[in-house]
Amino acid sequence: MPAYPEVKTPKALADAPADYRRAVEKIVISHAINELHGARVFDEVAVAFAPTPYWKWLTCRVAMEEYGHHVRFFRLGKEIGVADDAMMPQTSDKRTLSIFDFPLQNWDEFCVIKLVADLAEIIQVEDLLECSYVPLRNAAKATLPEEKFHAKFGEQSVAENIETPEGKKHAQAALDAIFPSMPAFFGSDQSKNNETYRKFGIKFRTNGEMRADYLARVKRIVEDLGLAWAAA
């Protein structure tokens, strides 16, 4: 028995209870804002850092897909009546996630961000795959393989970067600098928003459950690469 009946179209959403509509809007807005902000401050910037034509090519693809994720969620928002401005982050917008405050300065850092931050995004998107609002479920289905590609990009680029002792030192330093902001990516264990999402079958896991899953998965990946797991 589903937690909440499926809502199949924007038209059906317009007829759904106001608090369900508001919950769908909130999650769409959050994805639209953060995909755009991340693309601007990390992925587009990283094209200039990429050391070879091969990595520039793949970084362009990652940047294109992150902008594409914004466009996908922006369209979803538009069709349910969300204002354009509400989905466009402004300078010092409090709605952007704290991970994006990291001042990206080099290629090593970007590769580690793709390694650890895009896995966090994968876990968020996976939780929308059975979402009761079907257009949002479909957006998640389209987004997931691309986020998996970004995380793979992170693994492969970090593996290449750490082939030399010097490179390994840089990657470890980047990981130690970036990782501490990752657990907060999942939000508070007592989040009211998360409780509402679960009540409506929009999402299924608590923030704490997603965070625990993330920490187990990222630890394995980091250790398999031969980097030290320094997370407290």
Give the binding-site size for Fe ion (rule: CB under 5 A). Answer: 6
Site track 38-77 with Fe ion (rule: CB under 5 A), x = hit: ----------------------------x--x--------
Footprint (CB under 5 A) of Fe ion, residues 7-36:
35
Footprint (CB under 5 A) of Fe ion, residues 120-159:
147, 150
Minimum CB separation from Fe ion for residue 118, in Å?
4
Q: For Fe ion, which stretch binds (CB under 5 A), given 17-25, 70-78, 114-122, 160-168?
A: 114-122
Site track 155-194 with Fe ion (rule: CB under 5 A), x = hit: ----------------------------------------
Minimum CB separation from Fe ion for residue 109, in Å?
15
Contact with Fe ion (CB under 5 A) among 25, 109, 118, 155: 118
Minimum CB separation from Fe ion for residue 146, in Å?
7
Q: Which of 23, 217, 4, 220 is nearest to 121 (CA)?
A: 217
Q: Which of 70, 228, 225 is nearest to 152 (CA)?
A: 225
3-state DSSP of the chain: CCCCCCECCHHHHHCCCHHHHHHHHHHHHHHHHHHHHHHHHHHHHHHHHCCCHHHHHHHHHHHHHHHHHHHHHHHHHHHCCCCHHHHCCCCCCCCCCHHHHCCCCCHHHHHHHHHHHHHHHHHHHHCCCCCCEHHHHHHHHHHHHHHHHHHHHHHHHHHHHCCCHHHHHHHHHHHHHHHHHCHHHHCCCCCHHHHHHHHCCCCCCCHHHHHHHHHHHHHHHHHHHCCCCCCC
Minimum CB separation from Fe ion for residue 14, in Å?
27
Minimum CB separation from Fe ion for residue 127, in Å?
15
Closer of 73 and 133 to Fe ion (Cβ)? 73
Closer of 69 and 203 to Fe ion (Cβ)? 69
| Interface residue list for Fe ion (CB under 5 A) | 35, 66, 69, 118, 147, 150
